[in-house]
Amino acid sequence: MSKNSVAGDFRARDSEGYLDKSPATMQTVAEEVGAQLLILHGPHSTPSDRRAAQTYLDGVKQSPDVFPIGLFLARPQKQLSLSFNGNPQDTAAAIRFFGLSLIEKVVKRNWNPSGCPPEETESVKAAAKELALECAANPNDVAFLRRKVASIFAEVAKRLWPQRWPEMDGILAQLHDQSLSGKSLALLIFKSLFDDVFVYDDPVADARKRDLSTALSAVVVSRKALEVLYLADRAPDASFASFLSEGDPGPAVVSLTLEGGAPIIAGVNDVLRWIRADPQMVGWLDRWMRLLVQLRDVLMMEPADPSTEAGAYQTLGVELLETIASLLAWVPLVAFRACDMNVVVTIALFCNSKIHSARMAATDCLVNIYDRADLASDEAFWTSIVDPTLSGDGCVLEVLASAWKSLYRCINWDNLLPIQREMPLPEPDYLVLKRIVQIFGLITEKQICSIKGSSPADLTRLLEVLLIMAEHPSTTILSTVYSAWLELLKHDYFCGANKGNCF
């Protein structure tokens, strides 16, 4: 086997000319990489010096020992005598980022788990787990390092989970329970998986979309949701616990593909045995909603310095909302009804946060919920999503109307009309305002008006807010509001006997 083979990236063979992997040698490599990075990014380096430094670093990237080199560089415990602008921490972070980039390159471009020996796959899995646990144990890691570790972990998961890495969800649960930085890392990993599988055109995720989407659906929903999803054809008193203990694999609800290419039909029992981290089957959505409630007070505070404890929790809260937003676009609707709390009402509260990124993430959550076509086609879930949006104390419409008024520092609607005509909003507030209007448009057009002939719940609050919005001077706002009004006026409910009562 040649030195340039994929296997060479993972197994050192010193007798055949590979780099000595002793700690002293690897430390020397780290020092040299740091020195070349200093030259490459130094403000006083000459063009020729930068070219030489880039040539050296490109050589490291092409080395047959790139994986062990990258793994050593990515670890935080190196002692370096170099420093960027007199700051050794910046140098260490730059070297670690370079090492992580080497590992990511190998995983994404050089590694094919279907065609490599099992020990190589085990090495990659062990490296991904080790990097994640080290990152979770280091609260001082900068954000770009944590995101790079999350990217590596997600890339490995996309290629192996669930069949060849069934314990992955357990590792994420361990990270989540380990520390604040561990929670952040687990959220970043899940968001990367959600986006690659359900949003982006990722070739690796697309090739295993059936397996990955099945696995993700199984780990994010709760025990109650799984009972509804997979026991619908059984007796009403059948318990999920007894179902899992039965000898047969259960109803053929999913089709997974083994690494050898042979398709298998698997029941819920098989799926959960492969991928479940939590024997109580709480589900990540329920776990995250509980965490969100715990972070409510800190997310309603004024923005804090990220280096403080309050700032760290605010950052975690924003990452949590962003991950939930990515989840809510595709999670089975039964998860909303099975959750211990009302998802839409709880999330809507954060539209009144004083932190701009938290408000944007909360509105993203609501946009992804109300933009779902399957919600409009199944009114059975309206009681847990649409009804608490339109009516009841603390309904979503009231919260969004309050958020609208708070953007203009206004208490009541009477004062809002002249203020919104004369007071231009700062760009961040205007972005939130547009998102709120988008939510109202989706509620009206994609939910209420998508089912002709049905009788919606009380729409008094909705009509009142739409009338106020129709007085806004922004043409962008008005285009969405007028479109919603046109759909409302064409609805059967408003054209029939109720027309007079509505207006």
Residue 98 token pair: 């370079």
For the cut 90, the answer to whether the pLDDT of residue 243 exceeds it is no
Burial class (CB in 10 A: 0-12, 13-18, 19+), 43: exposed
**Per-residue confidence (pLDDT) for residue 426, from 0 to 100:** 92
CA atoms within 13 A on the CB side of 467: 10
Higher pLDDT, 236 or 187: 187
Upstream peptide bond of 162 is cis (omega within 30 degrees of 0): yes
Instruction: Return the structure tokens found at 245.
Output: 């203990």
Tell me the mean pLDDT in the region 105-129: 86
Query: Which range (32-36, 212-216, 265-269, 439-443) has the least confidence?
Result: 265-269
Mean pLDDT, residues 331-340: 86
Identity of the amino acid at 47: P
Give pLDDT, residue 456: 55
More reliable by pLDDT, 161 or 11: 161
Average pLDDT over residues 445-457: 67
- Helix, strand, or coil (residue 21): coil
Hey, what are 380's tokens?
């059975």
What's the pLDDT score for residue 275?
52
Q: Note the pLDDT of residue 145.
A: 93
Residue 308: how many CB atoms within 10 A of its CB? 10
- Whether pLDDT at 272 is above 90: no
* Cβ pair 157, 126 in contact under 8 A: no
396: Cα within 13 Å, side-chain hemisphere: 27
- Residue 397: name the closest of 407, 408, 409, 385 by CA: 385
Calpha distance 59→98 (Å, rounded): 13
Reported in sequence order, the residue ranges of 246-318 that DSSP labels E, i.e. its strands, are 254-257, 263-266
Q: How far is 322 from 283, CA to CA, in rounded Å?
A: 18
| 149 confidence band (pLDDT: 50, 70, 90) | very high
Tokens of 104: 């990511």
Grade residue 381 by pLDDT with cuts at 50, 70 and 90. confident
Residue 259, strand partner residues? none
List pLDDT tens digits, range 452-470.
545 555 677 788 888 888 8
Q: For residue 449, give the nearest of 484, 498, 401, 495 by alpha carbon.
A: 484
> Average pLDDT of the chain?
80
The pLDDT value given to residue 77: 59
- Measured N-to-C along each axis, helices 143-160 and 88-105 cross at an angle, to the nearest 10 degrees, of 20
pLDDT score recorded for residue 420: 84
- Does residue 392 have a pLDDT over 60? yes
Region 313-338: mean pLDDT is 93
> How high is the pLDDT of residue 259?
44
Residues with Cβ within 8 Å of residue 448, at least 6 apart in sequence: 386, 456, 459, 462, 488, 491
pLDDT tens digits along 160-206: 998 889 889 889 999 999 999 999 999 999 999 999 999 988 899 99
Do 136 and 182 form a contact (C-beta atoms < 8 A)? yes
User: Which spans in 5-142 are helix H?
Assistant: 23-41, 47-62, 66-74, 88-105, 118-136
Instruction: Please compute the mean of the pLDDT values over residues 230-234 and round it to a whole number.
Output: 52
Rounded distance between C-alpha atoms, residue 444 and residue 271, angstroms? 38
- What does the pLDDT read at residue 242? 39
Contact 73, 94 (CB under 8 A): no
Phi, psi angles (nearest 5°) of residue 265: -100, 120
Q: pLDDT confidence of 361, banded at 50, 70, 90?
A: very high
The dihedral built from the CA positions of residue 213, 215, 220 and 221, taken in this order, carries a sign that is positive
**Nearest alpha-carbon partner for 323 in 447, 214, 176, 431:** 176
Output the pLDDT for position 356. Answer: 95
Dihedral of the alpha carbons of 158, 161, 164, 170, in degrees to the nearest 10 = 130
Q: What is the pTM of this model?
A: 0.84
Residue type, 13: R
What is the pLDDT averaged over residues 251-273?
Answer: 45
Max CA distance (Å), the chain? 90
Q: What is the mean pLDDT of residues 143-159?
A: 94
Phi-psi group of 261: left, alpha or beta (phi > 0 → left; psi -120 to 50 → alpha; rest → beta) = left
Report, as an integer, the average pLDDT of 263-282: 53
Distances in whole angstroms, Cα of residue 75 to Cα of each of 10, 122, 137, 167: 17, 19, 12, 23
d(CA 131, CA 152): 9
Tokens 């260490």 belong to residue = 92
- Joined together, the tokens standing for residue 43 give 């403000």
How many DSSP H helices and E strands does the chain contain?
A: 28, 2
Assess contact for 221 and 338: CB atoms under 8 A: yes
The pLDDT of residue 100: 94
Whole-angstrom distance, CA of residue 444 vs CA of residue 459: 10
Per DSSP, the three-state class of 232 is coil
pLDDT at 48: 92
Which of 93, 184, 189, 99 is CA-nearest to residue 141?
93
Least confident span in 80-84, 279-283, 358-362: 80-84
pLDDT in the model for residue 159: 93
